[in-house]
Amino acid sequence: MTTTLIKSKLKTFVGGIHPKEDGKNLTCSKKEVPSISPKTVYLFMNQHIGAPAKPNVKKGDTVKKGQLIGEAQGFVSANIHASVSGKVIDVIPWHHPVTGIKSPAVMIENSGDDTWIEGANESSDTGQISPDEIKQRIQSAGIVGLGGATFPTHVKLTPPKDKVIDTVVMNGAECEPYLTCDYRLMIDKPSEIINGLKLIMKCIGCKKAHIGVEANKTDVYNLFKDILSNEPNIKIDLMEVKYPQGAEHQLIKASLNREFKPTQLPLEVGAVVINVGTAFAIYEAVKFRRPLIQRIVTVTGDGVENPQNFLVPIGTPIKQLLEEAQITTNINKIIFGGPMMGIAQGNIDMAVTVKGTGGILVLRNAQQWRSHACIRCGRCIDSCPYGLNPSELSILCEAKEFNLALENNVMECKECGCCSYICPSKRPIVHLIKFAKAEIARQKTKV
Ligand code: SF4
Ligand code: SF4
């Protein structure tokens, strides 16, 4: 990773934070991406926003790599495919690392022979492919947003008829501290990512694109610039290193200088945002008919001897990944994702990767903060990228004043964590807001 010093020329947004330690140096210079071959995988039917898929296999079935094992239920849903070849051991409720509750998962014992299902993993000529065919292959491959949102990509690429998308914005910012999975992919597969971006543009009939890259990745910036030297319609924007630079609102503001409400989608301002990992998965699906069955995962932190990016079949047990990364003793926190938006895990024995898992952060000395009263310093207000008043919200949420919290736009909070990070009183602002949002949703469903 390399850094530029010309800060005034960098694009950015208002608010946000500059984490003191970004932890990316632990893994960014490691060129190898070892492949993991798990003994068993656990494939959840709900790895995406929308309706869970429905298993179409049963205990005792033999499956091949890339075989459809969970059928999407409706349009806002996503297919699930076998990430290894082998035997279905069971279809059982398993502990979900994101929702924290047990959900149906297909458990497959890996035969280790890597036999692909017929029709998948074959190169095809995509020169004359139609937009509808691109979308159909994306949908069939079960592709979801790999930046963490896991929204089904074919839905994102189907805007309402009255909305015109004029620009695709590709997110190569990777602003979450510690994670370097996108960086590794951009360094290793830049042409494939650009080809994926062009397929997206063709799919939605969009002539322009911007790629946002943070200024701590000037090597990626130069790589993309070389590849795109004859592509005037695809621009690369070098952005300030600031969190959450890669979030949709902040990326679009920095790239296109367009703004929209926290509750609105990018299509309101004529844009669609795609993560670089998703663009790569799209290229794989359209060109080779490879479903989304693996991804790069960063396993890092001071709790592993060998922090590293790994190529991981979806559904791999975390214990195996941690062994590969040489987990140390005296661990006091394991987080799925990065330190800002990741989810702390309670049950490591059952935890497995899902499509949205970009990183696992293992910490020995995660600090346990004591929270104090708000001193009205206003730093959380300055940091909130969505213009909210986190101090006020946290007080209302703590007092269970949910109606007042709603009046103060609590539902507009994107849970980015900037306010909690910056707060000198270490108030658990995001936790209080999450609690209130969950309570409001629960009360709504009761009515
Ligand atoms: S967590 Fe919510 S309130 Fe806090 S800074 Fe982010 S968007 Fe604003
Ligand atoms: S940063 Fe913390 S102490 Fe300062 S106003 Fe916000 S909640 Fe209060």
- Report pTM: 0.94
- Residue 381 alpha carbon, nearest atom of ligand 2: 6
pLDDT confidence of 311, banded at 50, 70, 90?
A: very high
101 CA distance to ligand 1 centroid (A)? 25
Q: Are 186 and 31 in contact (CB under 8 A)?
A: no
Whether residue 374 has its Cβ less than 6 Å from ligand 1: no
Q: What is the best residue among 418, 421, 435 to mutate for testing ligand 1's pocket, by most ligand atoms within 8 Å of CB?
A: 418
SS3 category, 220: helix
> What distance in Å separates the CA atoms of residue 383 and residue 95, rounded to the nearest whole number?
35
Evaluate if residue 77 carries a pLDDT over 80. Answer: yes
Residue 218 Cα to chain centre, angstroms: 22
Please name the residue whose Cα sits nearest to atom 4 of ligand 2.
377
Count of CB atoms within 10 A of residue 20's CB? 7
Ligand 1 centroid distance, CA of 391 (Å)? 10
Confidence of residue 7 (pLDDT cuts 50, 70, 90): low
Instruction: Calculate how far, in angstroms, residue 419's C-alpha sits from the geometric centre of ligand 2.
Output: 8
For residue 269, pLDDT beyond 90: yes
What is the predicted pLDDT for the residue at 3?
Answer: 56
Average pLDDT over residues 178-200: 98
User: What is the percentage of the chain residues whose pLDDT exceeds 90?
Assistant: 87
Q: Which atom of ligand 1 is nearest to the CA of 393?
A: 3
Residue type for 177, please?
P
Residue 343's contacts (CB-CB under 8 Å, 6 or more residues apart) are 97, 98, 100, 335, 336, 337
The arithmetic mean of pLDDT across residues 301-310, rounded, is 96
Question: Counting atoms of ligand 2 from 1, which one is nearest the CA of 376?
Answer: 5
Q: What domains can you pick out in the chain, each with its CATH number?
A: 7-30+135-288 (3.40.50.11540), 40-120+291-363 (no CATH), 379-446 (no CATH)
pLDDT at res. 148:
78
Contact (CB, 8 A) for 192 and 285? no
3-state secondary structure of 56: coil
- Does pLDDT of 258 surpass 60? yes
Q: Give residue 8's pLDDT band: very low, low, confident or very high (50, 70, 90).
A: low
**How close is the Cα of 392 to the center of ligand 2, in Å?**
9
> Taken in order 438, 442, 445, 447, is the CA torsion positive or negative?
negative
Beta-carbon contacts of residue 222 (< 8 Å; ≥ 6 apart): none
Percent of the chain residues past pLDDT 70, beyond the cut = 98
Q: How far apart are the first and last CA of the chain?
A: 52
Mean pLDDT of 310-336: 94
Banded pLDDT at 367 (limits 50, 70, 90): confident
pLDDT one-digit tens code per residue, 392-429: 999 999 999 999 999 999 999 999 999 999 999 999 99
What pLDDT score does 226 carry?
A: 96
Please give the average per-residue pLDDT across 236-258, as a whole number: 96
Separation of CA 98 and ligand 2 centre (Å) = 28
**Which helix or strand (DSSP H or E) is residue 140 part of?**
helix 131-140
Question: Averaged over 44-51, what is the pLDDT?
Answer: 95
Indicate the average pLDDT of the chain: 94
The predicted pLDDT at position 444 comes to 82
Q: Is 279 in the pocket of ligand 1 (CB under 6 A)?
A: no
* Residue 403 to residue 158: CA distance in whole angstroms: 35
Q: At what angle do helices 181-188 and 276-288 cross, to 10 degrees?
A: 50
